[in-house]
Chains A and B, each alone.
Chain A
Amino acid sequence: MRPDLGVAFAGLRMKTPVMTASGTFGYGREYAGLVNLSAIGAIVVKGVSLEPWEGNRPPRIIETASGMLNSIGLENPGLERFLEADLPWLVSSGAPVIVNVVGRTPTEYREVARALDGAPGVAALEANISCPNVEEGGLAFGADPEAAYGLVAAMREATSLPLIVKLTPNVTDVAGLAKRVVDAGADAVSLINTLVGMAIDVESGRAVLARGTGGLSGPAVKPVALAMVYRVAAAVSVPVIGMGGIWTGRDAVEFLMAGASAVAVGTATFVDPSAPVRIAGEIAEFLARRGYGWVGDLVGVANPGFRAGRPSRLADEDPVRNNQGGTLDD
């Protein structure tokens, strides 16, 4: 029997538990032709702000041991352009769309959330309060539980869409932070964003990245990410989305077993554009080999303190529709 990969949680309906990680998949179009977009569980787009943001000075990236540093600075074309061009194209591709929201102030976050609330085809919002590469917004909210609470509460008022909050690992108590954003109304939490890191060019005696430090991603961060998912899944009552260095189906299964209801794939996609689909296939192979009928049965099995939200089977919900009105018949 073919294992069931479909999951429903927090108002999201996904045919596989594998999504793209924001900032690594553009607005989907960049990877059209290199991967079947409609076979991806959900596409989380690059952060969208109220006005266009130009991003940081180059150099913006550097490869490090088993990972990479980035300091993009949330370059994005802004809400208007996203609604006019990027979103309609992506919705027509057939994958559920989750919009990552960024801003400099709570008002900006709220305005973007409000504008997206009625936009056709948006399945959920992900509040990005964890980008380490901008002066205002991002980590400025995400590293302070009270600031995070206020921001999430403001967004909560502005939208009826499922609200995911993406957490930073650059804090001492990620579980306490997660609890505060859930108190403020988050329907799910996703983690981890990148870890602050740095590389220095010893020949020039200067930081490689123009901004000095950046965010570390890739296989190097996976054990850290897994431990944080494990801790958060034992602290909050809402579903957890796990990410950080996932390269294979086995990596993804680790996150599910730690307590994640779904996973996101980021840096791996730069190397293997088909990674979000390949990894879902590898999860299915694992399930078949171990005799699991449904991927949701893995969630939290390695976490004795697990108390987070669980996914339900897609088949249990009727009719099988996602938020853009399309039918999930696969």
Chain B
Amino acid sequence: MGVSDNKGTWRGRAEVTDSRRLAPSGPAAGYSESNQARSYHRLGLKAPEVAGRVRPGQFLHVLCPPGDPRGHSPGRPLLRRPLSVHDADPQAGTVEMLFEVRGPGTAALAATLPGDVLDVVGPLGGGCFPVSGDDRPSGATAGRTPPEPRSLTAILVGGGVGLAPLLLLARVLGTARARVRVLAGVASRADLVLVEPFYALPGLSGLVVATEERTAGAEPGLVADLLARELSELPGLRGVDPGPVVVYACGPRPMLREVSRLARGAGVEAWVSVEERMACGVGACRGCAVRTTGRPPYRLVCRDGPVFAAGEIDWGGAEP
């Protein structure tokens, strides 16, 4: 069935518990068309209805302030913005989002203060990062038995702000006692703020960082290079059988394409979270189509994704 209803989806008002800019230097938080420096923002929301059941890779569809759905004027953001869930605390009933300030909508979200209230729909996304066999869409493993998390080596590959949903994934995998390795790629030293939350995560088996611009403490180059090395070392990893290996990735499309190619070459299962502009977020408008190798060719990022089996995506046409 391609169509499912959204009866499990919550829509309500979520109080902002935390709203802070992550970039350590540069101009004040905000968006300008000439500002080349990236600005990242972390937003915490009180949303127990979401925190208790959000799965890694899912997103919230957030109305940009002023929060009144009737409020609109020229230049003011109109549509909701999809934000992937960065972390969740079911006990506290809070969720965190980490996003890049890219335009007027995300700038308006970044301008919120604790105590403000946002209109939120979620969790959305029919395809999440699979942690157990139950999470895998039927047929996605093509006859293979999905590995038990306890025997699993999970390689998480994040590029830039694509690292955001991997934090919740790493936490859930760690709780399920998988062996979790994180490969993080960012452009420059200023973007290392995106990696910091992973240092605080207990029980990571490894965390390797690559920066395109040479930076102390990080390897020069692209995160895909880290993955290539990681995969080449797998078979004889200190003489120890790593057991089943699964790659999970989120980042720019060229990076995901390379991750997909490397994983296929190594015979390793891979899952990628992809991005498209979105209007409704619930599968009604068909705006966020992504081309796949299946029939019919288009699937929806909001309803079928945002996470897809890497082999399902038609990577052709991704060249600029």
A58, A62, A86, A268: which contacts B3 (Cβ < 8 A)?
A86
Q: Does B190 contact A (CB under 8 A)?
A: no
In the assembled complex, which residues on chain B have CB atoms less than 8 Å from the CB atom of A67?
78
In the assembled complex, which residues on chain A have CB atoms less than 8 Å from the CB atom of B296?
52, 54
Contact B79 A271 (CB under 8 A): yes
A31, A58, A204, A275: which contacts B284 (Cβ < 8 A)?
A31
Q: Does A25 contact B (CB under 8 A)?
A: yes
Residues of chain A in range 15-43 having any CB-CB distance to chain B below 8 Å: 23-27, 29-34
Contact A269 B276 (CB under 8 A): no
CA distance A278 to B105 in the complex (A): 24
In the assembled complex, which residues on chain A have CB atoms less than 8 Å from the CB atom of B107?
none
CA distance A72 to B290 in the complex (A): 12
Chain B residue nearest in CB terms to A30: B284
In the assembled complex, which residues on chain B have CB atoms less than 8 Å from the CB atom of A305?
none
Scan B118-133; emit 1 where CB is below 8 A from any A CB, else 0. Answer: 0001000000000000
B11, B69, B291: which contacts A58 (Cβ < 8 A)?
B291
Contact A77 B6 (CB under 8 A): no
Q: Does A170 contact B (CB under 8 A)?
A: no
Known: A68-B79, A270-B79, A270-B279. Contact between A34 and B287, CB under 8 A? no
A-side interface mostly: loop
Contact B74 A65 (CB under 8 A): yes
A23, A27, A56, A57: which contacts B285 (Cβ < 8 A)?
A23
CA distance A55 to B2 in the complex (A): 15
CA distance A204 to B319 in the complex (A): 12
Q: Does B1 contact A (CB under 8 A)?
A: yes
B-side interface mostly: loop
Contact A270 B286 (CB under 8 A): no
Chain B residue nearest in CB terms to A35: B11
Contact A66 B73 (CB under 8 A): yes
Contact B5 A33 (CB under 8 A): yes
In the assembled complex, which residues on chain B have CB atoms less than 8 Å from the CB atom of A61?
277-279, 285, 287-288
In the assembled complex, which residues on chain B have CB atoms less than 8 Å from the CB atom of A272?
69-70
Contact A85 B69 (CB under 8 A): no
In the assembled complex, which residues on chain A have CB atoms less than 8 Å from the CB atom of B78?
63, 66-68, 218-219, 267, 271
Contact A30 B74 (CB under 8 A): no
Q: Does A59 contact B (CB under 8 A)?
A: yes
Chain A residue nearest in CB terms to B280: A270
Contact A26 B283 (CB under 8 A): yes
Residues of chain B in range 253-286 having any CB-CB distance to chain A below 8 Å: 276-286
Known: A34-B6, A271-B63. Contact between A55 and B285, CB under 8 A? no
Known: A26-B283, A61-B279, A270-B80. Contact between A275 and B69, CB under 8 A? yes
Q: What is the CB-to-nearest-CB distance from A34 to chain B, in angstroms, rounded to a whole number?
A: 6
CA distance A32 to B9 in the complex (A): 9
Residues of chain B in range 1-31 having any CB-CB distance to chain A below 8 Å: 1-9, 11
Q: What is the CB-to-nearest-CB distance from B171 to chain A, in angstroms, rounded to a whole number?
A: 28
In the assembled complex, which residues on chain A have CB atoms less than 8 Å from the CB atom of B303?
30
CA distance A56 to B279 in the complex (A): 16
Q: Does A248 contact B (CB under 8 A)?
A: yes
CA distance A272 to B64 in the complex (A): 12
In the assembled complex, which residues on chain B have CB atoms less than 8 Å from the CB atom of A274?
11
Categorize the interface residue count of chain A. Answer: 35 or more
Q: Does A117 contact B (CB under 8 A)?
A: no
Q: Does A70 contact B (CB under 8 A)?
A: yes
Q: Does A230 contact B (CB under 8 A)?
A: no
Contact B286 A75 (CB under 8 A): yes
Q: Does B298 contact A (CB under 8 A)?
A: yes
Q: Does B77 contact A (CB under 8 A)?
A: yes
Q: Does A104 contact B (CB under 8 A)?
A: no
Residues of chain B in range 275-313 having any CB-CB distance to chain A below 8 Å: 276-291, 296-298, 303
Contact B279 A68 (CB under 8 A): yes
In the assembled complex, which residues on chain A have CB atoms less than 8 Å from the CB atom of B4?
29
CA distance A70 to B277 in the complex (A): 11
Known: A33-B9, A204-B320, A219-B78. Contact between A58 and B290, CB under 8 A? yes
In the assembled complex, which residues on chain A have CB atoms less than 8 Å from the CB atom of B289?
55-56, 58, 60, 72, 75
Q: Does B72 contact A (CB under 8 A)?
A: yes
Contact B3 A85 (CB under 8 A): yes
Residues of chain A in range 164-222 having any CB-CB distance to chain B below 8 Å: 204, 218-219
CA distance A270 to B75 in the complex (A): 18
Contact A273 B282 (CB under 8 A): yes
Contact B297 A54 (CB under 8 A): yes
Known: A30-B280, A32-B6. Contact between A60 and B297, CB under 8 A? no
Contact B8 A33 (CB under 8 A): yes
In the assembled complex, which residues on chain B have CB atoms less than 8 Å from the CB atom of A219?
72, 78
B5, B276, B317: which contacts A29 (Cβ < 8 A)?
B5
Known: A52-B296, A271-B69. Contact between A32 and B5, CB under 8 A? yes
Q: 16 additional contacts, CB 8 Å, given A29-B4, A270-B280?
A: A24-B284, A26-B282, A26-B284, A32-B7, A52-B296, A57-B317, A58-B276, A58-B290, A61-B278, A63-B78, A63-B277, A65-B75, A70-B285, A77-B2, A270-B79, A273-B121
A/B interface sample: 15 pairs, CB < 8 A:
A24-B285, A29-B5, A30-B6, A31-B282, A33-B5, A34-B11, A46-B284, A46-B286, A61-B279, A63-B277, A68-B78, A271-B63, A271-B78, A272-B69, A272-B70
Task: List residues of A whose CB falls within 8 A of some B CB.
Answer: 23-27, 29-34, 46, 52, 54-63, 65-68, 70, 72, 75, 77, 85-86, 204, 218-219, 247-248, 267-275, 278
Top 4 A-B pairs, shortest CB-CB distance:
A26-B284, A272-B69, A33-B7, A61-B287
